[in-house]
Amino acid sequence: MNWFTSLLGKSSRGTAPEKDSTGGAGRVDHRYDGRFRAICKLRISWQDRKGKNWRKRVRVVDMSGTGVLVKCGVPIDPGSFVFIKTEELGMLGSAYVRRCDPLLFTYQIGLQFASPLSLRF
């Protein structure tokens, strides 16, 4: 299985790894799919609690078939629903914000795909 088929949701997920690994933030990693570093940008859009629509370009830190970790200039509330578009990969989809951690001048946001990303064309 390569990373592209993993993004399209064509991987067999099996069971979670028995041995837990700890991420850099001291969290236990229970992911089914391994993450890989990626150098690309996404366009995300969402609506905040007040009903204001937002659009931002974000930088991908790493990704898997089930989610992506991005850096964004503004915080997004966990539980928010976001739309994702990437021109570099020609894909789009949607995700839920699972976490939003402040960094020095940005926020690290964990997104879980609502369904596998699909090809635009």
SS3 5: helix
d(CA 20, CA 46): 33
pTM: 0.71
Mean pLDDT by 10 residues, the chain (121 residues): 47 42 53 71 94 95 91 96 89 94 96 86 49
Element (H, E) at 7: helix 3-7
| 96 closest CA partner among 77, 114, 84 | 114
Structural domains of the chain ordered from first start: 3-7+33-115 (2.40.10.220)
